[in-house]
Amino acid sequence: MKRVAFQGERGAFSEDAVAKFFGSTLPVPHPIPLPTLAEAFQVVEAGDADHAVVPIENSQAGSINETYDLLLRSPLLIAGELTLAVNHCLMALPGQGRGAVRQVFSHPQALAQCDRFLRELGAELVPVYDTAGSAKMIKEQGLLGAAAVASERAAQLYGLEVLARNIQTIANNFTRFVVLSREPAPPGAQNKTSLVFATQNLPGALYACLGAFATRNINLAKLESRPSREKPWEYIFYLDFEGHVQEQGIQEALQDLEGKTAFVKILGSYPKARG
């Protein structure tokens, strides 16, 4: 049985992602809920879990910076990806109407994704470590005048009443998750590679790096800069592109890239998500 770690309590969207990615495999994977993303990485690194499923970006709120920072430091590899539709609900203890809500608890990303609805609600927003965890807290502590933003499945698990459904600001709200492993993934029919690199401090350095892909007609799916943790005002670049590291053209591009950068780290080469 595969042991799959995720950040959050039972009922978290990350657990839904675990079920979606591994749902067709037998035996059914054993989910391991953990308080933090760092712990989800750590249990796989230590061999206490086979995989972790972690969020990496949201179609509305953008990148999950902590995940990118952990990928930079971790020896784990991205072995797969999936996209999950995220539909947020407002929930409270049974009998609590929407007008009684004075505080709303949830993960900061979820609060950001529901900003328009929550502004109109006019309640105090209280960030906590997890969407489902906020629902569990309200139930266990019997909090009156409090609501959580979480999935409808979390409301069912913790016996809360749904006060409003689909409260996200953008109706088509999706989160991309990546599957982490200690071993590289075999190629699929369509593949994607993720890496991180730092440019040399020279004019046109980034232009030259991207040219390693452009001259070989390799399609870039994402490019994002993040501040370096080593030196102030210096940046590293996270890049996703189509193709697998086993392909000859990709190997040539990576060799070219290595000659133009201060460092390159492959984060994973894996089957591309469908849809």
DSSP 136-162: HHHHHHT-TTEEEEE-HHHHHHHTPEE
Question: How far is 30 from 5, CA to CA, in rounded Å?
Answer: 8
Total residues belonging to the chain: 275
Question: How far is 43 from 40, CA to CA, in rounded Å?
Answer: 6
Bridge partners, 81 (sequence order)? 178
51 half-sphere exposure, CB direction, 13 A CA radius: 26
Q: Residue 59 has what DSSP assignment?
A: T
- Asked if residues 177 and 54 have their Cβ atoms less than 8 Å apart, the reply is yes
Distances (CA, A) of 174 to 60, 88, 113, 166: 8, 11, 10, 12
- What pairing do the DSSP bridges indicate for beta strands 191-199 and 261-271? antiparallel
Active site amino acids: 175, 177
